[in-house]
Structure 1
Amino acid sequence: MERLVVWIRGHRWTVDLPLYTVFLFLAPNWVGTGSWAVRAIPMLFVLPLLVRRRFPRTVAVLVIAGAAAVYFNEIWAYDRGRTELAMAVALFTLVKLGRRRFAAAIAFAIAVLDVQWGFLWGTYTENPTFTIVAVLPLHIAAWALGEFFRTKDQLTAEEEKRADAQSRAAVAEERTRIARELHDVLAHSMSVIVLNAEGAKLARHRDPEAVDRTLDTIGRTGRDALAELRRLLEVLHAGQAARSPQPSIDELRELVDQCGRAVALEVTGDPGGLTASAALQAYRIVQEALTNMIKHAPADATGRVEVAFEPEVVRIEVTNTGGQAPPAPAPALPSSGRGLAGMRQRVEMYHGELATGPLPNGGYRVRASLVVGS
């Protein structure tokens, strides 16, 4: 249904199909003589209405001109239904698109034509005044509907802008959070380099081999720090945020135990060569996935966390089963940020992939990968 609505919004002409049907099959009321081709001329009102959204003013003028031609001709004058409907549609379109001044002029022209029709042809009816007044509700309703749909479109546009602004704010906040975490990692790396450099200076005369080992440590730490610095520059935003110690991948077991749910943990591979930043992002993804499970999964749902450390990729999969009980109050498990938006930012920073969605058994799955190879 949602796809159908989106498609219709992109093809507005489909909404007009019932209107065109009314124009074609509206019962005519012709008088006088003339061929059927001549009598069917009022049906040509449908042609300018085809482009009423693109050229609303031009179409309105053409419709009013056509209505004047119809109402001054004895053959066409009594085919009033199509004429009034065409003018009402043109008026509605102008109001809906916010052309109120032009719509007011068109409304005045419609009133003049209706009065003129009453004086020319309404005298042949039992109540000429009623023939004039009877069509007024149609045009009042056209104006009111135009205002209603214009207001609705404005509200929808405002909601879309608000949602876009909130999404941008969430992304900006999450990037700032990630930059802060990377700052802590870089600060640690720089501290290691400085301390080892000072130690190498003191030991260069007593233990040359220790100096070589220390220089190796400095080189390895420096390369890791440069890699993290490149990522930091991609996400760094202006502004200072409070800094606090960040958890590592070694604390996954403690994180799982905090859930208060039956969650199995399986870790494969060797995380020894993983940089501190990559370990932190993997931890945060697991943390956010478990937090979402606690918030949204039934109380009797069980979970499973699988983390695979491969030479160049860290693969993470967090799943939970469905259940019958309502979600229980969430324990004090800290959240890492902005849910899926935060996970997506962390994955993109390591050029990985993120896939989320429901499972056939009623559960949910979060699958992420971080490319940590050079």
Structure 2
Amino acid sequence: MRKHRWTVDLPLYAVFVFLAPNWVGPASWPVRAIPMLFLLPLLVRRRFPRTVTSLVLAGALVTYSTEIWAYDRGRAELGMAVVLFTLVQRGDRRSAALTTAAILALDVVWGFRWGPFTQNPTLTIVGIVPLHFAAWALGEFFRAKAQLTAEEEKRDEAQTRAAVAEERTRIARELHDVLAHSMSVIVLNAEGAKLARHRDPDAVDRTLDTIVHTGRDALAELRRLLEVLHAGQAARSPQPTLAGLRELVDQSGRDVTLDVTGDPGALPASAALQAYRIVQEALTNMIKHAPADATGRVGVAYQPPEVRIEVTNTGGHAQPAPTLPSSGRGLTGMRQRVEMYHGELTTGPLPDGGYRVRASLVVGP
């Protein structure tokens, strides 16, 4: 309805068309139905509210000036109430106030000209005021509701940005440790090569190869570190690797099988760390949301130049797990880790009621 708001107006237009006519005189039906044409601008009232308001007020003035149409007042008053509602809803209170004054003036003109021919002239003027009062009040209500919705969307967007920033900082800290380790390896091997250059030249060559390999990895990690905007002091605890996946699966307390193919040891340290974290987040989601008897599978395949990760769980037959507090950052963190390695992340439910997380990390050139 938000994309096609005109559909909401269809019942209103139906009222305009089928409202019982109150025309007098011998004129033909097409002539009597001309006031309906004055309401056609309402179809574009959201796009041109002030112009439509002027046209509807002008149509009402013409209607109230002609005896054939003057007593078909309900249609005109309803059209003016609609444009008044539109102006208030858009926050154009100045135009709404002028429109209200014009409506009251038209009602007074109608009352003095045609009211004496009714049973109660005063009631014909005063009795229509609640309609326009309700139109103003409804406009204020829907405007306040729209503002509240916009504020909630801004708040959700701010929370999402904060979660992304926090996750990027966490990833940067982890990469900081990997980079620091690489620098330590380079320095230690350089010192060792310096001491062994006279006793074992072959060892020096092997050491230099290690330094070159480690240095290249360190440069790659440094680029990624800059990409995720390192902030704050790095954590000091050692970071996990894919070698710890078995322990991670055992700690889940669920029936989860682990299938690792390829040589994870050939992965850069930061890529292995990000793969571990993705599996960790996926298992955490399983523990939080899957039934107690749900089974799972963790598959990690190293197929240069990519690492492919797939974590699935079945729907189970037990009662769904009770809702646990969630920060909403699990998928955000996984998405950040995948984007850092220019990979892909897909998540979603399975036909049997389970869930699947599938990710890829591009670690090769």
Do they superpose with TM above 0.5?
yes
Residues 1:99 and 2:87 are matched in the alignment = no
How far apart are residue 10 of structure 1 and its match?
Answer: 1.7
CA contact (8 A) 2:252 2:287 kept: yes
How far apart are residue 52 of structure 1 and its match?
Answer: 1.1
Taking only aligned residues, the RMSD between alpha carbons, in angstroms, comes to 1.8
Residues 1:327 and 2:305 are matched in the alignment = no
Residues 1:56 and 2:45 are matched in the alignment = no
The Cα offsets for residues 57-108 of structure 1, whole Å up to 9 and x where unpaired, read as: 1211221122112112111101111100110000000000001121111112
Q: Secondary structure, in 3 states, of the residue corresponding to 2:69? A: coil
Q: Distance in 2 between matches of 1:45 and 1:17?
A: 17
Residue 253 of structure 2: aligned partner: 260
TM-score in terms of structure 2 length: 0.95
Could you say if the C-alpha distance between residues 126 and 92 of structure 1 is closer, same or farther in structure 2, counting changes exceeding 3 Å? same
CA contact (8 A) 1:180 1:243 kept: no
Q: Secondary structure, in 3 states, of the residue corresponding to 2:266? A: coil
Residues 1:42 and 2:35 are matched in the alignment = yes
Counterparts of 1:26-37 in structure 2, within 5 Å, are: 26-37=19-30
Residues 1:131 and 2:124 are matched in the alignment = yes
Q: Distance in 2 between matches of 1:329 and 1:38?
A: 66
Q: What amino acid is aligned across from residue 80 of structure 2 in structure 1?
A: M
Q: Distance in 2 between matches of 1:148 and 1:243?
A: 54
The Cα offsets for residues 273-318 of structure 1, whole Å up to 9 and x where unpaired, read as: 1110010000000000000011111112111111112122111111
Q: Distance in 2 between matches of 1:237 and 1:133?
A: 69
Could you say if the C-alpha distance between residues 243 and 130 of structure 1 is closer, same or farther in structure 2, counting changes exceeding 3 Å? farther
The Cα offsets for residues 243-291 of structure 1, whole Å up to 9 and x where unpaired, read as: 4321111111111111111111111121121110010000000000000
Q: Distance in 1 between matches of 2:50 and 2:323?
A: 59
Residue 353 of structure 2: aligned partner: 362
How far apart are residue 242 of structure 1 and its match?
Answer: 4.2
% same residue: 80
Q: Distance in 1 between matches of 2:193 and 2:347?
A: 49
How far apart are residue 337 of structure 1 and its match?
Answer: 8.9
Relative to structure 2, which stretch is displaced further, 95-104 or 10-19?
10-19
Q: What amino acid is aligned across from residue 346 of structure 2 in structure 1?
A: A
Q: What amino acid is aligned across from residue 94 of structure 2 in structure 1?
A: R
Q: Distance in 2 between matches of 1:134 and 1:240?
A: 72
Q: Distance in 2 between matches of 1:38 and 1:126?
A: 27
CA contact (8 A) 2:25 2:68 kept: yes
TM-score in terms of structure 1 length: 0.93
Which of 213, 220, 226 is 2:213 aligned to? 220
Q: Secondary structure, in 3 states, of the residue corresponding to 1:231? A: helix
Q: What amino acid is aligned across from residue 77 of structure 2 in structure 1?
A: E
Q: Distance in 2 between matches of 1:139 and 1:337?
A: 46
The Cα offsets for residues 5-28 of structure 1, whole Å up to 9 and x where unpaired, read as: xxx212222222222222222221
Residue 3 of structure 1: aligned partner: none
How far apart are residue 38 of structure 1 and its match?
Answer: 2.6
Q: What amino acid is aligned across from residue 344 of structure 1 in structure 2?
A: R
Kindly tell me the number of residue pairs found equivalent between the two proteins.
Answer: 363
CA contact (8 A) 1:190 1:225 kept: yes
Q: What amino acid is aligned across from residue 341 of structure 1 in structure 2?
A: T
Residue 5 of structure 1: aligned partner: none
Relative to structure 2, which stretch is displaced further, 235-244 or 161-170?
235-244
Q: What amino acid is aligned across from residue 289 of structure 1 in structure 2?
A: A
